[in-house]
Structure 1
Amino acid sequence: MDVVLILDHGHINGGQAKVAIESALGLAARGHRVDLLAAVGPVDPRLEAAGIGVTCLGQPDIATATSKLAFTAQMLWNAPAERALARLLAGRDPGRTLVHVHAWAKALSPAIFAAIRKAGLPALYTMHEFFLVCPNGGLYDFRRHAICRRTPLSAACIATNCDMRSYPRKAMRLARHLLLEQVARWPEGIRDVVTISALQEEVAGPLLPEGVRLHRIDNPIAVADAGPKPAGAAGPVTYVGRLSTEKGVLLFAEAARRAGIAPVFVGDGPEAATLRDRYPEAQLLGWRDAAGVREALRAASALVFPSIWYEGQPLTVYEALALGTPVVVSDACAGCEAVADGETGYWFPSDDADALAERLIRLRDPATAARLGAEAHRRYWTRPLTLAAHCDRLEEVYGLVLREAADPAAMRAGGPRLAPVA
C-alpha cells in the first residue's frame, strides 16, 4: 500500500507522535511505501533512514511561536500545510493509497482536512484525543477541573469558559472548530475513525456524524519482556507523566500522605511547584527518557494513574503491566480497561483521595504487591500490544477502507457503525 501519515510533530514529543512514528517505521519495514507530513521539526532520523519520505514544514507550535498573532492565524487555517499536503497527495492511485491523520490541532489546523477532501483519497483518523468533537480536545472543563458533559458547540458550551488559560483562547478554539466542520468539512473526506478504547467509543461515538465508521486499533507498546520481578522486590508508588491538575497529581500526593507513603513523580508540568511546596515528602525526579521511564516503572511497587479526565489509552499503564508492576487507576479514564480490579491492580473512584489512600495502604503489604505484579506480567504477555500486532491490525483496517472506497455502495448498504475487532 501507499500510506501517507499526517501529524503535528516530526519527532516523538508524546503519545500521539510516538504511535504515528513507530507505525510508520513498522509499515515501511513490511514493504509499504510510507510518506509523512509534519509541521514541526526536528525530524526523527529513523524515518529517512527507513526510506520514509518526510515533508516537514519547519513551523512553530504554541510553545515555540515567537508571534502569538501569527500563530493564531496558523492555528485557525494553516494555508502552507494545506498546499504542501495537496502537493503530496496529487496523482496518487486511490486504489492503493491511504491517508492517515494522527494529529493536527497543535500546528497543522483544519486546513489539512480540506486538502484531504479535495484529493478524494481514502482516509482515516486516529482519535488520540477528542478534537474532532470538542473544541478544547478533552471533553474536560479545565476551570472547574471536571469532565465536561455539555454538548459541543451548544449554547452552554459557547457560554462556558472551560479553557485552561482564557476565554479568548476558548473563542479561538470555537472558531477553529467551526472551520473544521463548515469550511474544511472533514466528514466528507474522512468516513473512518480509529478508536483506542471502549471509553472513546462510549463518550465520543454519539457526537460523531452519522455514517462515520469506527475501528478499534490498540496502540503499540515498546517494552521488552524482562520476566517476572524477582521475589521480594519492592519499591515506591510512582506516577509517570505530566504534572498537571487534570492528571490527578495533587490527588495522588494527598492520598499518599493519608496512606503514610512517600510518592515518587516522574515528569514535570505546571503543578511541580505546588507539589514541592505542599508535599515536601514527595520525590520529584523530573523527565526521564524512555529507558529511564521503564527503569522507574520496573522499580516501582505500583504505578498510580489518578487521572480525573478521559484518557484514550494511556501507554504508561500498559508499560507498567508489561514490566510486572501493578497499576492503581482512576475509574474515569480508559486506563481501567487494562487493569483487572483486585487481580493486576486496583480501580478507585475518580477524584476520591480517601479511596485512593485505601488502595495504597493495601499495597504496603509486599505480598499483595508481588501477587498483583506477577499476575499483571502474566496477563499482559499472553497478548502483548506489540508493534507487529499493531501493524497487523492497521493493514486489516487499511484494506477494509480501500475496498469500501472502491465500492461505496457496500458501505451505504449498511455495514456496522462499529467495525468488529479481529
Structure 2
Amino acid sequence: MSETGSGINIVIAVDHASVTGGQAKVALDSAIGLKRAGHRPIVFAAAAPVDPRLATAGVEVVCLDQTDLLGAASKAQAAVQGIWNFRAEQELGRLLDGLPRENTIVHVHGWAKALSASIARPLRRSGLPAVYTLHEYFMFCPNGGFYNYPRNHVCTLEPMSAACWASNCDSRNYTRKVWRCLRQSVMERVARLPEVFDDFILISRFQERVAAGRLPSGARVHAVSNPIDCLDLGRKTEPATGDFLFVGRLSPEKGLFLYAEAARRAGVAPVFAGDGPAAAELRARYPEARLLGWKSAGEVKLLMRRARALVFPSLWFEGQPLTVLEAKAMATPIIVSDGCAGREEVEDGVSGLWFRSADAESLAEALIKAKDDALVAAMSNACYDQFWADPPTLARHVERLGAVYSEVLSRKPATQAVEPERRLPAP
C-alpha cells in the first residue's frame, strides 16, 4: 500500500522539472496522469523551474534547483555535474530511504542533461525496482543520438570504440566529445547505470533495432507509446488547402536544409514553425522560406490543422516524434523520412508519404505528389480515422504504465541484495 491509498508510489526521475522538450513533457504529463489515476507520483528533478501544473495537480516534487549543463555558471561546473552530480546522489538516496519498500518503483526518464549517472548508486542501494524509458540513446552512445553532427549523417561506429573516441561527432567541438566519452566511461564502468534497470520502456518499434544487443542481459522490454494531448476536431472540411509545414527545433539534424532544398526543387514555399541555432543560415540560404518563429503549443496545433501536410525530414534516429502524432490527430497527412520512427505512424500512400532518408530528390518527389488535392483529401481522412480509432491519450498512457509497474512489482523479491559499489571520491 502507498501512503495515500492503494496506488503505487512512483519516483519519476528526470533532468528538468519543467517542459524543456519531449522527454520532460512526457515525464511530467505522466506524473499528472498517474496522480489523477490514484497513484502517488513524486517528481525528482535537478533543474528548476518547476512546472506549476504539478502543484495544481497535487504532484509532489523534489527539485534540486540546479541548472542543466548548458545553463551552468562555468564550464568546469558543468563538467563536474555532468559526470557525477553528488547532490543528486545524496538527495535521491534520502528520498528513496523514506518510501515504503513493498509498493514503490522508480521510473527514470532522463539523466544526461542534469542528474548524471550518479543516480545509479542510490537506486542500487535502495533495492527498489527501476524502469528506464528510452527517449534517446545516452545509455549507449556518448552524444545520445548515434549521429555525426558536423557531417550531418547517422553514425555507424561502435560506441566507445577507438574510432568513436577519435571521431569529432559532437555538435560543438571535439573537446566536448572527449568529455562525453569520459562521462560515458564513468556511466558504464563506475556507476554501471544500465545494470540498475531490469525493465526498459521503448516508445516505438523502431527503437528495437537501435537498442538490439545493447540492453543488459535478461532485460525485459515493454512498448508504451508517448501520450498525445489533442482535441477531436473531426475530419477537415477543406483538407487540400494550406502550407507544407515543418514544426520543431531549427537545427541541422532535424533535416530543415534538406526540406528547404527539396521544396525549392518541387516549386513550393517551405514553412517553418520553430526556432533554433540554424535559423539565420536557413533564412540566408533559402530566402523563399517562411520562418514563423517559436509558437505556443496551441498555436502549433492550429498551424497543423490548417496545413496541407506536415513535413518531417529528420536525419537522426528520432525515438517517437510527437509532432507526427499531433499532426495525425489534426487530420493532417505527414511526409516523413523512412529513417526515423515517425514512419511507423504513417502508412505510405494512405495517411502520408515516405521518402528516402537524407535524399532531397526523393523528398521533392513526395512534395510534388502531395500537390494532388484528391490524394491529400484521402490521406487526411485516413489520418483522422487511424488516429482516433485508438488515440494514445494520457489516460491510456497511464493505464499502460500502470500495467508495466504492476508486472515489475509482482516480480520483486521480498528482499533484494545490494551489490557493492565502485566509489568516486567526494568533491
Q: One fold, TM greater than 0.5?
A: yes
Cα deviations by residue, 1:297-336 (Å, 9 ceiling, x for unpaired): 1111000000111000000000001100000000000000
- Between stretches 103-112 and 58-67, larger displacement belongs to 58-67
Alignment of 1:25 onto 2:38: no
CA distance in 2: counterparts of 1:145 and 1:396, whole angstroms: 39
1:58-77 matches, within 5 Å, as 58-77=65-84
CA distance in 2: counterparts of 1:65 and 1:234, whole angstroms: 46
Alignment correspondent of 2:122: 115
Q: In the alignment, is the contact (CA less than 8 A) between 2:239 and 2:376 conserved in 1?
A: no
Cα deviations by residue, 1:48-100 (Å, 9 ceiling, x for unpaired): 22221111111112332221111110011000011110011003223210100
Q: In the alignment, is the contact (CA less than 8 A) between 2:70 and 2:78 conserved in 1?
A: no
Of residues 65, 79, 104, the one that matches 1:97 is 104
Alignment correspondent of 2:295: 288
Instruction: Return the letter of the residue paired with 2:301.
Output: R
Alignment correspondent of 2:170: 163
Instruction: Return the letter of the residue paired with 2:321.
Output: P
CA shift, 1:270, in A, is 1.6
CA distance in 2: counterparts of 1:139 and 1:63, whole angstroms: 21
Secondary structure at the counterpart of residue 158 of structure 2 = coil
Q: In the alignment, is the contact (CA less than 8 A) between 2:245 and 2:271 conserved in 1?
A: yes
Alignment of 1:362 onto 2:369: yes
Alignment correspondent of 1:414: none
1:19-418 matches, within 5 Å, as 19-231=26-238, 233-406=240-413
Instruction: Return the letter of the residue paired with 2:119.
Output: I
Q: In the alignment, is the contact (CA less than 8 A) between 2:195 and 2:216 conserved in 1?
A: no
**Percentage of identical aligned residues:** 52
CA distance in 1: counterparts of 2:81 and 2:130, whole angstroms: 23
Q: In the alignment, is the contact (CA less than 8 A) between 2:139 and 2:194 conserved in 1?
A: no
For structure 2, the 5+ residue unaligned runs are 1-7, 417-427
- Between stretches 354-363 and 324-333, larger displacement belongs to 354-363
Secondary structure at the counterpart of residue 227 of structure 1 = coil
Secondary structure at the counterpart of residue 200 of structure 2 = strand
Change (3 A) 1:29 1:133: same
CA shift, 1:231, in A, is 3.3
CA shift, 1:185, in A, is 1.5
CA distance in 1: counterparts of 2:146 and 2:414, whole angstroms: 35
Instruction: Return the letter of the residue paired with 1:262.
Output: A
CA distance in 1: counterparts of 2:313 and 2:196, whole angstroms: 37
Change (3 A) 1:407 1:201: farther
CA shift, 1:407, in A, is 7.2
CA distance in 1: counterparts of 2:166 and 2:218, whole angstroms: 29
Q: In the alignment, is the contact (CA less than 8 A) between 2:118 and 2:191 conserved in 1?
A: yes
CA distance in 2: counterparts of 1:310 and 1:395, whole angstroms: 27
Alignment correspondent of 1:412: none
RMSD of equivalent CA atoms: 1.3
- Between stretches 48-57 and 97-106, larger displacement belongs to 48-57
CA distance in 1: counterparts of 2:56 and 2:134, whole angstroms: 28
Q: In the alignment, is the contact (CA less than 8 A) between 2:11 and 2:43 conserved in 1?
A: yes
Change (3 A) 1:85 1:22: same
Change (3 A) 1:79 1:402: same
Alignment correspondent of 1:415: none
CA shift, 1:109, in A, is 0.6
- Between stretches 188-197 and 126-135, larger displacement belongs to 188-197
Alignment correspondent of 1:9: 16
CA shift, 1:342, in A, is 0.1
CA distance in 1: counterparts of 2:248 and 2:69, whole angstroms: 20
Q: How many residues align?
A: 409
CA distance in 2: counterparts of 1:394 and 1:264, whole angstroms: 36
Instruction: Return the letter of the residue paired with 1:10.
Output: A
CA shift, 1:242, in A, is 0.7
Instruction: Return the letter of the residue paired with 2:56.
Output: A
CA shift, 1:403, in A, is 1.1
CA distance in 1: counterparts of 2:345 and 2:169, whole angstroms: 29
CA shift, 1:290, in A, is 0.7
Change (3 A) 1:316 1:119: same
Change (3 A) 1:127 1:366: same
CA shift, 1:188, in A, is 3.5
CA distance in 1: counterparts of 2:114 and 2:205, whole angstroms: 28
Secondary structure at the counterpart of residue 183 of structure 1 = helix
CA shift, 1:213, in A, is 1.4
Q: In the alignment, is the contact (CA less than 8 A) between 1:241 and 1:268 conserved in 2?
A: yes
